[in-house]
Chains A and B, each alone.
Chain A
Amino acid sequence: MNDNHLKERENILSEANKARWDLGIDLHDTVIESIYEDASRIARKTVKQKGEKAAYALDLRIDKIVTSRWLGFPIMFLLLALVFWLTVTGANYPSGLLASFLIDYMHPILKGAAASIHMPWWLDGVLIDGAYLAMAWVIAVMLPPMAIFFPLFTLLEDLGYLPRVAFNMDSLFRKAGAHGKQALTMSMGFGCNAAGVIAARVIDSPRERLIAIITNNFSLCNGRWPTQILIASIFIGGLVPAQLASVVSAGAVVGIAVLGIFFSLVVSWGLSKSVLRGEASAFSLELPPYRPPRIWQTLYTSLIDRTIIVLWRAVIFAVPAGIVIWLVANVHIGELSLAEYFIQWSNPFAFVFGLNGVILLAYIIAIPANEIVIPTILMLTVLITGASGVGAGTGVIFELNSVGDTANILHAGGWTLLTGLNLMLFSLLHNPCSTTIYTIFKETRSVKWTVVSTFLPIVLGFMVCFFTTQIWYLFFV
């Protein structure tokens, strides 16, 4: 019975094969042509163009400028820099406000309440000094920059600027042996790498898709922008007079983002010349018309969709991470806590790369979400520097309400400009967050490529930090 069906189906296929020969090799083309013919006939009957296409002429003029050979890239960098500058200058004050409310005001109240119901010290520590403080930190550090950055980025997106970026980048990606659409997935990655990895589905060829997936991590994502912006304001902005600080820090962040694009191109080139050899395939990219963005709608959706969702994710990961931080800081073996053991043990290794044990431990604890790297670093630094004026108690942070105080903690932890710079580099070049790793596995269905995507950036990150540090020592020490 089943065999009969199978035979019948084979018969159908062989009849199709035979007919295909009879119909000639250009069948596919004639089928498409007949569709185009009908479409054009219907359009001629129903569409009337009255007078000038005023808006297109304007679109064309704008496109000539923003995609021009000489002005395309400078305009792109300037726009990016403007977005970061607005973010850096705008986020500082609300950050301080949130920190003073959640940390200076709410934390003592919670501690008092815990004491009044005689909560055991370890439960109070895990819940309030661990989970609550980590969450408070994530909100204070992350929310203001996100609430400014996302709407601005979404406005650029609604306007139709992203396809122009892709258009500008296309020839670079093709020269690197990758697909031009990788410029689009890269832009998506600037929002979220997991989204960028999924977006790589628009690329047909498996080879080029894999390259786009592996290199997507070189796009700084949501979780890493605030780290970049904060560290740049403290260590790079701190180098210049106050009036220039925000411009210079914004420039530094753009520099890191551009370095990410550079690595994306170099790694794509390397892959397409070695393990993923092949030619770049052609594609057509439509430049959509510029559309005036709906300002309020954009504000609403980017606040709800991106900011709140990303923040929520950060909070969900911060709570367990806060508990872990408190535990590693308070579980002692002999004289030292677990965290101190790890930090002292890994410091000599980390110093070679211009980093420190705190940063390494923070990146291990923060694998689930890049968003909590900075809060973790701060809590761990306070812990190992002891109660040096800013912190009180183990793994607890008090009275920290501005970028200046964050800077004080980091300086107390022995941070220099070199540490800051290397942290910015390492934040660009390290493993993707666990969500992205899982997404890469789901999309590629390959353990091998998931492992490559995970470890390639770490290796690169250590190499880059190592060379930066050695060159630094050569010239400045």
Chain B
Amino acid sequence: MSNSNNCDNCPVHNKENLIKLGLNMEQVDYVITMAGNPNTGKSTVFNNLTGLHQHTGNWPGKTVSRAEGGFIYNEKRYKVVDLPGTYSLLSTSTDEEVARNFILFGQPDVTVIVVDATRLERNLNLALQILEITDRAVLCLNLMDEAKRNNIEIDERALSKELGIPVIPASARRKEGMKELLAAIEEVAAGKYVCKPHKIKSRSIKLNNAISSLASKLAEQFPNLPNLNWVALRLLEGDNSIIEAVQSGELGSINAGDSTVQL
């Protein structure tokens, strides 16, 4: 095998093939979404991928509505949706609902979970909730430069094994790790990397039984929904917005959020 051949086959080599499309998002092959805690650099990653200048700032709660952009990578067209940062998907403030509805009902091909490497444990709470909803995700371990500054070391391979999704270390502000992130997004989107997302282990048998019983009933009513276990859990917890969506039958056709706001 010649050297040049090696290069052509190496996924990193192709990463020069990124074409930033800005707002041009016609005829996309894949939809990906950026989710994560507030102030982890989602918008910075978004800007790096799309070439847009979504305003970034060092404070939580800056993105309150969805922002969208596009890029071409290895001849495939991607649409990227930047979601507001949230601490969980369980409560019901407007920004959390925007994020939740999009991941749940927009059914993106890949969800990029951007986490702060210096606060991994807290960020994992949201990451695990996202993995309950979707089974195609990539973890972007952002702010690695700060983690290094703080003498924090993270075993990315072990983390990837635990979560069952690709884990890519990055420093988005320095544009580091973006090529690797793109490669991982492509692999998951194209189905070359099959995620085995972590499922919450420490649940009682009784709860799990109740969930699966409800989920099978939901499956008859809403055959197109991919995350019935999660919907079932929300029903058991008494989540009003989900209860209403089931009652009215809108759950199957719910709009992934109309809160795109143009300033």
Which chain A residues have a beta carbon within 8 Å of chain B's beta carbons? 5-6, 8-13, 15-16, 19-20, 22-23, 27-28, 30-40, 42-43, 45-56, 154, 157-160, 162-163, 166, 181, 184, 192, 194-195, 198-199, 201-204, 285-286, 288-289, 291, 294, 297, 301, 304-305, 442
Residues of A within 8 A of B152 (CB): 47-50, 53
Cβ of B137 to closest chain A Cβ, rounded Å: 15
Residues of A within 8 A of B198 (CB): 38, 42
Q: A27-B236, A202-B61 are in contact. List 8 more A-B contacts (CB 8 A).
A: A9-B246, A12-B235, A39-B128, A42-B163, A51-B151, A54-B149, A201-B64, A289-B146
* Bound Cα distance A43, B213 (Å): 32
- B interface residue count range (under 10 / 10 to 19 / 20 to 34 / 35 or more): 35 or more
* Bound Cα distance A16, B232 (Å): 8
* Bound Cα distance A50, B67 (Å): 38
Q: Is residue B125 within 8 Å, beta carbon to beta carbon, of the partner chain?
A: yes
- Tell me which of A39, A49, A166 contacts B125 (CB under 8 A): A39
Query: Are B155 and A288 touching (Cβ within 8 A)?
Result: no
Q: Is residue B214 within 8 Å, beta carbon to beta carbon, of the partner chain?
A: yes
Q: Is residue B200 within 8 Å, beta carbon to beta carbon, of the partner chain?
A: yes
Query: Are B92 and A288 touching (Cβ within 8 A)?
Result: no
Residues of A within 8 A of B158 (CB): 45-46
Query: Are B57 and A157 touching (Cβ within 8 A)?
Result: yes
Query: Are A157 and B53 touching (Cβ within 8 A)?
Result: no
The residue of chain A having its C-beta at the shortest distance from the C-beta of B156 within the complex is: A46
Query: Are B235 and A16 touching (Cβ within 8 A)?
Result: yes
Cβ of A11 to closest chain B Cβ, rounded Å: 7
Query: Are A305 and B55 touching (Cβ within 8 A)?
Result: yes
Which chain B residues have a beta carbon within 8 Å of chain A's beta carbons? 38-39, 53, 55-62, 64-65, 88, 90-95, 118, 120-122, 124-125, 127-129, 146, 149-156, 158-159, 162-163, 173, 198, 200-204, 206-207, 210, 213-214, 217-218, 220-221, 232-233, 235-238, 243, 246-247, 249, 261, 263
- Tell me which of A47, A51, A442 contacts B121 (CB under 8 A): A47
Residues of A within 8 A of B246 (CB): 9, 12-13
* 17 CB-based A-B contacts, threshold 8 Å: A12-B214, A16-B243, A22-B210, A23-B206, A33-B202, A39-B122, A39-B125, A45-B155, A52-B151, A55-B150, A195-B263, A198-B64, A199-B64, A202-B93, A289-B118, A289-B146, A442-B261
* Bound Cα distance A195, B61 (Å): 12
Query: Are A55 and B237 touching (Cβ within 8 A)?
Result: no
Query: Are B237 and A31 touching (Cβ within 8 A)?
Result: yes
**Interface SS majority for chain A:** helix
A201 and B65 in contact, given A12-B214, A47-B121 (Cβ under 8 angstroms):
yes
Query: Are A35 and B125 touching (Cβ within 8 A)?
Result: yes
Cβ of A317 to closest chain B Cβ, rounded Å: 15
The residue of chain A having its C-beta at the shortest distance from the C-beta of B261 within the complex is: A198
* Bound Cα distance A131, B246 (Å): 56
Residues of A within 8 A of B261 (CB): 198, 442
* Bound Cα distance A52, B153 (Å): 12
Residues of B within 8 A of A37 (CB): 202
- Tell me which of A13, A16, A49 contacts B151 (CB under 8 A): A49
* Bound Cα distance A301, B173 (Å): 13
Cβ of B240 to closest chain A Cβ, rounded Å: 11
* Bound Cα distance A159, B57 (Å): 8
A19 and B210 in contact, given A12-B221, A158-B58, A162-B57 (Cβ under 8 angstroms):
yes
Residues of B within 8 A of A9 (CB): 221, 246-247, 249
- Tell me which of A8, A28, A53 contacts B220 (CB under 8 A): A8
Residues of A within 8 A of B127 (CB): 39
- Tell me which of B155, B206, B247 contacts A13 (CB under 8 A): B247
* Bound Cα distance A39, B162 (Å): 10
Residues of A within 8 A of B233 (CB): 31
Cβ of B62 to closest chain A Cβ, rounded Å: 8
The residue of chain B having its C-beta at the shortest distance from the C-beta of A283 within the complex is: B93
The residue of chain A having its C-beta at the shortest distance from the C-beta of B210 within the complex is: A19
Residues of B within 8 A of A159 (CB): 58
